[in-house]
């Protein structure tokens, strides 16, 4: 069995149009980490969000609009795309839920999609990455990445036994840099003038790394800090 991403069968969007994410009362598809097997859609739950493998019925106009938004795409150092709904279906089909995962971030309360992750597990080096876009700007600065990536990191380290997670945001993507730092990633390098921005400038790029033992230590330290804050409050 190849570890390369295998295309999933494409499903036609419901009623011939872009569907909505699962709404209130509709169970979210996917398997919780404890019962999950490679190839199955995964479902993670946090306090405010459901993070689960994107399904074709999740493709929606909001998702398409995010790919065309200059401000959102600049966060991943890309120019606005001219993707179509059909292109999004093809994109989703590239993820195999074994070594590549395309997770939607859904509001637990309403089921609305607010963003997505593309995560990759390079098995040869047992190395994983988590690339996130929060498309709904109302959720910028609200801790959505910290809360949801916590669950993904736990899955990668605890369930997949990944040996290291890395991230490489552009230096001027300050919110992303902040989030990596806040989750205990170490700065391993700053690659100077390493990439070309959509506007043609050469820009710096970070290389962040996180090992399982560092994640465990970070979580323990964070829990202690929260307890201290509660006691002080």
Tell me which residues touch other proteins (CB under 8 A).
140-143, 145, 171-172, 174-179, 181-182, 187, 190, 204, 206, 222, 225, 229
Under 8 Å between Cβ of 118 and 102: yes
* Measured distance CA(64)–CA(106) in Å, rounded: 16
Report the residue number, 36 or 206, with the smaller CB distance to other proteins.
206
- CB of 167: closest distance to other proteins in angstroms? 12
Report the residue number, 20 or 222, with the smaller CB distance to other proteins.
222
E strands present in the chain: 43-45, 49-53, 100-107, 113-122, 127-134, 164-167, 186-196, 202-210
- CB of 221: closest distance to other proteins in angstroms? 8
Report the residue number, 172 or 219, with the smaller CB distance to other proteins.
172
Under 8 Å between Cβ of 65 and 58: no
- CB of 130: closest distance to other proteins in angstroms? 15
- CB of 213: closest distance to other proteins in angstroms? 20
Q: Calculate the alpha carbon distances from 150 to 44, 70, 147, 155 in Å.
A: 10, 27, 5, 9
Report the residue number, 10 or 174, with the smaller CB distance to other proteins.
174
């Amino acid at each position: 069995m190849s570890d390369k991403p295998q295309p999933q069968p494409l499903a036609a969007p419901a009623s011939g149009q872009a569907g909505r994410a699962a709404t209130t009362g509709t169970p979210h598809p996917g398997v919780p980490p404890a019962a999950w097997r490679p190839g199955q859609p995964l479902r993670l739950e946090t306090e405010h969000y459901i993070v689960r493998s994107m399904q074709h019925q999740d493709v929606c106009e909001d998702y398409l609009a995010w790919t065309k938004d200059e401000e959102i795409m600049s966060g991943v150092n890309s120019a606005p795309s001219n993707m179509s709904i059909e292109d999004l279906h093809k994109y989703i089909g590239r993820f195999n839920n074994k070594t590549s995962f395309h997770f939607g971030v859904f509001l637990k309360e309403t089921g609305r999609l607010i963003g997505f992750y593309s995560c990759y597990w390079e098995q040869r080096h047992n190395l994983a990455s988590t690339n996130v876009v929060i498309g709904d700007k109302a959720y910028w600065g609200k801790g959505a990445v910290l809360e949801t990536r916590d669950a993904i990191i736990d899955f990668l380290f605890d369930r997949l036994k990944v040996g290291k997670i890395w991230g490489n945001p552009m230096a001027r993507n300050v919110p992303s840099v902040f989030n990596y730092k806040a989750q205990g990633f170490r700065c391993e390098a700053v690659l100077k003038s390493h990439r070309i921005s959509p506007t043609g400038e050469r820009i710096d790029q970070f290389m962040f790394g996180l090992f399982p033992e560092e994640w465990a230590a970070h979580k323990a330290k964070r829990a202690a800090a929260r307890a201290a804050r509660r006691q002080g409050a």
